[in-house]
Amino acid sequence: MFTTHPRTVEHAVARLNRGWYAAGTDIRSMKDYNGPDPIRRPVGYLTTVLLAQDCIRPDCERGSILASGEDCTLCGARGAEAAAEKAKAQWEAEAEEKRAARQAEALAKEAAEQAEREAAAAERAAAERAAADAEETARLRARMAAEFAALDEAAAIPAPTPSEDTAPG
Ligand SMILES: [Zn+2]
């Protein structure tokens, strides 16, 4: 039976989980299951799963040497697992990188739009100031023209006669 020292209950559970759920055994052993590879004797199947030794090294448990915890060099199961983990980590890192790039792009776009809006507002304000200046200039010109016209009118009044003007005191 499965009591080979130093295997533990955890090892047994890991084996059962892998052999049972990973293979869809829980579904395949149901009474009304009609698909391929039905399991009619779940206990017998479980025993097989429990006792199955993938590696030719008897002290290898899923790619780890039980006593030392080192990776088994014979079956490479650990290596395959590590490669899968590495590939997953790489994929996640790439996904994160893409996400960060998308975020940076969105921020840059937002900043550019903001700058564009501010530039447009500054342009509008400058145009409004220029228009107000022009209006003020025109108003001043009109006032000065009116004042000059008044001065011209005043100058048009005939001067007093020279005799009066030059009369000795
Ligand atoms: Zn092995």
* Average pLDDT taken over every residue of the chain: 83
CA of 8 to the centre of ligand 1 (A): 17
pTM: 0.35
CA of 77 to the centre of ligand 1 (A): 6
CA of 6 to the centre of ligand 1 (A): 15
CA of 56 to the centre of ligand 1 (A): 7
Pairing state between β 64-65 and 60-61: antiparallel
What is the C-alpha separation between 63 and 76, in angstroms, rounded? 6
- Judge whether residue 18 has pLDDT over 60: yes
Q: What mean pLDDT do residues 10-32 have?
A: 81
- Helices 42-51, 9-20: axis angle to 10 degrees equals 120
The domain limits of the chain are: 9-75
Tokens of 71: 């990776």
Pinpoint the alpha helices (H) of the chain: 9-20, 25-28, 42-51, 77-156, 162-166
CA of 28 to the centre of ligand 1 (A): 28
